[in-house]
C-alpha cells in the first residue's frame, strides 16, 4: 500500500483553511445580526424616540450579515456538489 503523503497534506490543508473561513464568515454574520439587535434595543430604551424611526430598517450591517450567511450556504452547496457529482 502506497500513501501519497503530499496529496493527503494538501487535502488536510485545504479543508482546514475552508473550515476556518466558514466558521469566520458565520461568526461575522452572527456578530452583524447581534449588533443590529443591540442597536435596536438601545434605541428602544432611549429617552428620545423618533416618530418615524428606523427600528426595522435594512441597514448595511444586516446586509453584510446576510451576505456572510449566503457565502456559507454557497460554500456548503458547492461542497455537496463536489461530493455528489
Cell numbers describing residue 50: 423618533
Residue 1 has pLDDT above 80, yes or no: yes
**Helix, strand, coil share of the chain (percent; to 5):** 80, 0, 20
Q: Is the pTM of this model over 0.85?
A: no
Mean pLDDT computed over 71-84: 95
Handedness of CA 63, 66, 68, 74 (dihedral sign): negative
Amino acid at each position: 500500500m502506497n500513501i501519497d503523503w503530499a496529496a493527503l497534506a494538501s487535502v488536510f490543508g485545504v479543508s482546514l483553511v475552508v473550515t476556518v473561513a466558514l466558521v469566520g464568515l458565520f461568526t461575522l454574520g452572527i456578530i452583524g445580526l447581534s449588533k443590529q439587535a443591540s442597536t435596536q434595543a438601545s434605541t428602544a430604551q432611549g429617552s428620545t424616540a423618533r416618530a418615524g424611526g428606523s427600528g426595522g430598517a435594512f441597514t448595511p450591517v444586516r446586509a453584510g450579515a446576510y451576505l456572510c450567511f449566503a457565502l456559507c450556504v454557497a460554500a456548503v452547496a458547492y461542497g455537496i456538489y463536489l461530493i455528489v457529482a
